[in-house]
Structure 1
């Protein structure tokens, strides 16, 4: 079954065109409906202000966020009207601490959420909770897209980061419509375990599962020759000229990854191609 509802979330005017172009390309490729949410973000943290200033500052920031949301919606509507995509648009105001909940409410009823890359130069702090809201509370797969990447409906070459985890398997299942249309899919296993039921054939069961869906898959077993798994995966994606990486998201807790780092956060920081994730 293909995607029928694609969700895109816009909180930054500089990322409107990129986000809508990529989400629209996916929607056009599978005949899906594109829903666009535009949020003016209220970044107020009222506990940090002196007594008596709260109401005045809250009103000012709320007015500013409302104007921002309306401007984002106008720009997004202009971009959408230039496409043949079936679309709808909503706008509003969300507080920074609560924006993930708003995104999750719509992500729950979407087949795929397309978002800009959350980390990097000039990226707003709200992009991280937007991604996490869609993945965790929304329980939807997320595709994050770097700004410089050209939009495409179906990637021709895909790399799957496979570690036999539940998150990775869910990402593969969610990405199946794209995997079926790809010319080649590389199942990448990094330092497979020396003990376990699949030690003699790492990635073999996944490859068989994909083949029965008509996916042209091959297994690449790699050694961890770099400090981080994400480094090895990104380098291999570059070596095989991949258009997209599919992986499970946050196998460890979000707190641990935020403090100590992890494959998900590292990948979101350094990837130069779209990353398709599910939790």
Structure 2
């Protein structure tokens, strides 16, 4: 792992445990610093009530949010080995309705974020909100790991790039370049390339050349859309080839559209069996 700062934005001591384990492993050598941010997020207490024609609302509970941050810190501190001098825990009070702003300001001071999978058997709205804040407001890459965490070697044997020729995909590739250079193989995967694409005779040739000139060992896989969703094709290929992580652009469509109609980013995040390195 290169120098700099790795960060984990925590809202739940159980759900974020795997992300912390992965971040600890990524910073094991001590060359990079690890910041664990314990977020106490304000929420309006569920005791609004009708008083005649008026709706009576209580104010967001600032004290409860600060207490939650303190509780998170106490729950997570035992996870940090005593010898790890390059790890710090921080408490933050996040204002209601300003998660994007407040979390984005915290996230932007890191070089990369490690995040728990934002979707699971149970709703995880705070994980979704913090992940999106890091991507959109923080503007930095996020490594999303499955529940329980994942082992990402400093020099991975095989990484996969989900390439669709978009701006977001290029941002993700640039963000992941240090890791891509160290990988034994970088598999550039293109699913059902467009007929009108300029490099139809050589799909992926331009990005493969870019990566090769940056020191990566590259191969290109052009896949037919044999399944209903592109995400299913990408996920199956990653598992079949033993990719240690998938690099991809995030939210090429708007977040609202992906929530309403689905999209490759959300579908990959919903069943994150392989770590995803996301940027936009």
TM-score normalized by structure 1? 0.90
C-alpha spacing 1:45/1:191, structure 2 compared with 1 (3 Å):
farther
Change (3 A) 1:124 1:256: same
Instruction: Please identify which structure carries the higher helix content.
Output: 1
Alignment partner of 2:98: what SS? helix
Please list, as runs of the form range in 1=range in 2, the aligned pairs for 1:69-88 lying within 5 A after superposition. Answer: 69-82=69-82, 84=84, 86-88=86-88
Give runs of ≥4 in structure 1 deviating > 6 Å: none
Match of 1:248 in 2: 249
Q: Equivalents in 2 of 1:76, 1:116: separation in Å?
A: 15
**Counterpart Cα distance in 1 of 2:45 and 2:252:** 30
What is the CA distance between 1:48 and its match in structure 2?
A: 5.0
- Distance 1:223-1:37 versus aligned 2 partners, 3 A rule: same
Question: What pairs up with 1:258-277 in 2 under 5 angstroms?
Answer: 258-277=259-278
CA distance in 1, matches of 2:201, 2:7: 41
> Structure 1 residues 253, 3: CA separation in 2 closer, same or farther (over 3 Å shift)?
farther
Residue 63 and residue 167 in structure 1: after superposition, are their counterparts in 2 closer, same or farther (change >3 A)?
A: same
**Cα offset for 1:81?**
3.8
Give per-residue Cα distances to partners, 1:139-176, cap 9 Å, x unaligned: 11111111134333433321110011110011011011
What secondary structure does 2:25 align onto? helix
Aligned to 2:224: 223
2:167 matches 1:166: yes
Could you tell me which runs of 5 or more consecutive residues in structure 2 were left unpaired when the two chains were aligned: none
CA distance, structure 2, for counterparts of residue 66 and residue 88 of structure 1: 18
Is the contact made by 2:16 and 2:116 (CA closer than 8 Å) also made in structure 1? no
Aligned mates of 2:145, 2:260 — CA distance in 1: 24
Partner of 1:112 in structure 2? Answer: 112
Q: Report the TM-score, using the length of structure 2 for normalisation.
A: 0.90
CA contact (8 A) 1:28 1:85 kept: no
3-state DSSP class of the match of 2:222? strand
Taking only aligned residues, the RMSD between alpha carbons, in angstroms, comes to 2.3
TM superposition shift of 1:16: 4.0
User: 2:41 maps to which residue?
Assistant: 41
1:239 matched residue in structure 2: 240
Gaps of 5+ in 1: none
- The number of residue pairs the alignment matches comes to 276
> In 2, distance between residues paired with 1:266 and 1:3?
32
The structural deviation recorded for 1:249 is 0.5
